[in-house]
Amino acid sequence: MRHQLRIGAGALVALCLTVANAPSQAPDADSRFERTEAMVPMRDGKKLFTTLHVPKEPNGPVPIILLRTPYGIDGRAERLLRNYFKDMIDDGYAFVLQDIRGRFKSEGTFVMTRPARDPNDPKAVDEASDTYDTIEWLLKEVKGNNGRVGMLGISYPGWLAAVAMLDPHPALKAVSPQASPIDMFLGDDFHHSGAFRLSYGFEYVAMMETDKTNFSFHFDRHDTYDWYLKLGALSNVNRKHFKNALPTWNDFVAHPNYDTFWKTQSLEPRLTRVTVPTLTVGGWYDQEDFRGPLKMYELLEKHDKKGQNFLAVGPWNHGGWASGKADRLGRVPFGSDTGGHFRKEVQAPFFAHYLKDAGKAPPEARMFLTGANTWETYDSWPPKGATARKLYFHPKGKLSFDPPPERAAEASEYVSDPANPVPYRPRPVRPTYPGPEWPEWMVQDQRFTHGRPDVLSFETEPLAEDVTVAGAMKVKLFGATTGTDCDWVVRLIDVYPEDYKKPPELAGYQLLIAGEPARARFRKSLEKPEPVKPGAVEEYLVDLVQGHHRFRKGHRIMVQVSSSWFPVIDRNPQKFVPNIFEAEDADFQKATQKVYHTPAFASRVELDVLPARTK
């Protein structure tokens, strides 16, 4: 969920503000703005460091745009004015940035994704109350505002925006949660369907809770794959490094299952109404918070009576829409300035419409179609007309829309060895932050694992026509293990033709469309895990969330199955233990895994597919 402010914070513009604090002498990126600092008081007496960026010559009353963040605001606005909010400056706004409680220059104690306060305690605080108190202060202290406030942010700031709209100040009139997590056990940053995101979780917790600023853990090896492997079992983390001093890691250890701790943090049960117009934003290649935006839109849409719930998803990594053209990611081109398109044609009009009564609201769903490199507009998401199609696993690595025949070979198998886990990206795996590969690993060529003996690959023949996925993507896998626990990692891949020429460096490329784990212990319940019976065939659901991708004619669709994805996902001991965070090195063992492909146990991918285009 970490998102550097150079990409995801708010620029600041508009309005003749008057505050008691003297203007700072810090340089501003745009000569049209005056920068002011303030310590804004909260209801419990703590004060939060805040910067206000005000246009020197406002053209009448202006709204306020607020961005709150744990990543430090001092000196960041200059970059934001040049990028994230560049297309909003001329519309006229005042932009306000704030360090949240307990981070950088703000007072108080930081709590990771702070749970909701007790509504019966008037002195209790949470991020919604801090936002409410901040808005109340701004409306009183800033002269010339038009009484409307908008809020946005990417990643953790996006989560803060989402929390604010659950209990909004009356002046909060538009909110855009961007790349926001929604449930830290079901998806997004720390777990995917209960499987722990090791390298991200370890490095993020070290960054956020070692001190009040952004701390970088020091690895003594260039390849963190090797470092995490030598670390051994997760029980060694506190023993060797954190020494029980970092609260969030201790929470991981104390809450390995989907218990009340995780459920009280989840936004899902709280998204029961659309309180203000909401523009939810996500990226198809978001390596941190992909599930959150799509689920947030889905849940709010059930309660949207006024047509104020909007969605925009582009071909971006985490926050990739906030600066620059975003016309490519890694080696994969997108054919246009997708970042500029979003900022100018979606984000700026959304806030102008609801905060200034200018222009039109955005379309219901503005969605980039990867593979075709086009923007599509829908009246709903997923779009109407999509139907489920099934791609079945077959013996000898074949994948087909035809179900397996009666006499199909029973299963394909491999040996999973925790001492030699499948890497999630090509080695060396440099640190998440500031490692240069982390933002791009989801579009890296998957041929680096293709052919490993512990990776099964199922592949179609070259497609006779385009297959356009728009909506749900799920895998129903029938598997058995010789162990008592295991992971099933499934990756959906677009295989480019060997004679591909635009560009030629993508010839034979294996582009990851989606990949997710399923942890066997949670196959029946996330709350109450249980061991697997060795050799028993079980059905596993691997939720690939959603997609909007065109597999082009002549391409192949591939599915890869393995039992590790390291170190982005922690290693499963493959022996059931009550708590994997407390497992010891001796608990890890090899296991033989079988993936079935018979009529009775028909492992398959189920994709929501749009009808073929008519010529």
Q: Could you count the other beta carbons within 10 Å of the beta carbon of residue 42?
A: 19
Check residues 266 and 28 and name the one with the higher pLDDT.
Answer: 266
Binned at pLDDT 50, 70 and 90, residue 565 comes out as very high
Burial classification of residue 557, based on how many CB atoms lie within 10 Å of its CB (0-12 exposed, 13-18 middle, 19 or more buried): buried
Whole-number Å distance between alpha carbons of 211 and 188: 24
- Is the CB of residue 407 less than 8 Å from the CB of residue 598? no
Rounded-to-integer distance, Cα 448 and Cα 422, Å: 10
Residue 206 is encoded by which pair of tokens? 């070290």
Cβ atoms of residues 111 and 74 within 8 Å: no
Give the pLDDT confidence of 171-195 residue by residue, as tens digits: 999 999 999 999 999 999 999 999 9
Predicted confidence band at 76 (pLDDT cuts at 50, 70, 90)? confident
Query: Residue 450 and residue 454: Cα distance in Å, rounded?
Result: 10
Please tell me the pTM assigned to this model: 0.94
Summarize the confidence of residues 232-237 as an average pLDDT: 98
Kindly give the pairing relationship between strand 510-519 and strand 411-416. unpaired
The percentage of residues in the chain with a pLDDT greater than 70, rounded to a whole number, is 95
b/e per residue 367-379 (b: at least 16 CB within 10 A) = bbbbbbbebbebe
Taking only the tens place, the pLDDT of each residue in 132-172 is 999 999 999 887 899 999 999 999 999 999 999 999 999 99
Residue 426 has pLDDT above 60, yes or no: yes
Strand partners, 175: 151, 278
Q: Which positions ≥6 away from 574 have C-beta within 8 Å?
A: 416, 418, 481, 483, 484, 485, 486, 563, 588, 589, 590, 591
Q: What is the DSSP letter of 90?
A: G
Tokens of residue 421, six digits? 């886990």
Average pLDDT over residues 559-574: 98
Please say whether the beta carbons of 176 and 281 come within 8 A.
Answer: yes
- Tens-digit pLDDT profile for residues 163-176: 999 999 999 999 99
At 1, is the pLDDT very low, low, confident or very high (cuts 50, 70, 90)? low
- The reported pLDDT for the residue numbered 24 is 40
Distance CA 130, CA 107 (A): 12
Contacts by residues 299-303 (CB-CB < 8 Å, ≥ 24 positions apart): 299/268, 299/271, 300/271, 300/274, 301/380, 301/381, 303/271, 303/272, 303/273, 303/274
User: HSE of 230 in the Cβ direction (CA atoms, 13 Å)?
Assistant: 9
Could you tell me the two tokens for 442?
A: 């989801």
DSSP bridge partners of 35: 53
Closest CA to 279 of 453, 516, 65: 65
Calculate the average pLDDT of the chain: 93
Distance of CA 107 to the CA centre of its chain: 28
* Burial category of 264 from C-beta neighbours within 10 Å (exposed 0-12, middle 13-18, buried 19 and up): exposed
C-alpha span between 218 and 489 (Å, rounded): 29
Report the alpha-carbon distance of residue 134 to residue 293 in Å, rounded: 25
pLDDT at residue 2 greater than cutoff 70:
no
Q: How many residues does the chain have?
A: 615
Tell whether the model's pLDDT for residue 297 goes beyond 90: yes
Q: What is the mean pLDDT of residues 581-597?
A: 98
Once rounded to an integer, what is the mean pLDDT over residues 542-554? 98
pLDDT tier, 37 (very low <50, low <70, confident <90, very high otherwise):
very high
Pairing, β 387-394 against β 398-400: antiparallel
Averaged pLDDT, 442-452: 96
Beta strands in 70-214 (DSSP E): 94-99, 145-154, 172-178, 191-192, 195-196
354: left (phi over 0), alpha (psi -120 to 50) or beta: alpha
For residue 331, the model assigns a pLDDT of 96
Band (pLDDT 50/70/90 cuts) for residue 29 is low
The tokens for 69 are 């963040």
Q: Which of 49-63, 94-108, 112-126 has the highest mean pLDDT?
A: 94-108
Angle at 425 between CA 423 and CA 431, to 5 degrees: 95
Q: At residue 26, what are phi and psi to the nearest 5 degrees?
A: -65, 140
Give the model's pLDDT for residue 59: 87
Strands of the sheet containing 374-378, edge to edge, are 33-41, 47-55, 94-99, 62-69, 145-154, 172-178, 278-283, 309-314, 365-369, 374-378
137: which 2 tokens?
A: 């202060």
Give the whole-number percent of the chain exceeding pLDDT 90.
87
Strand 510-519, strand 456-459: pairing:
unpaired
Torsion of Cα atoms, 294 then 366 then 384 then 166, to 10°: 40
Determine the average pLDDT of the residues in 502-518. 97
Task: Give the pLDDT score at 90.
Answer: 86
238: tokens are 């506190």
Residue 223 has pLDDT above 70, yes or no: yes
Whether 551 contacts 462, CB under 8 Å: no
pLDDT tens digits along 310-368: 999 999 999 999 999 999 999 999 999 999 999 999 999 999 999 999 988 999 999 99
pLDDT band at 3 (very low <50, low <70, confident <90, very high): very low
Residue 207: closest CA among 216, 196, 198, 194:
216
Confidence of residue 436 (pLDDT cuts 50, 70, 90): confident
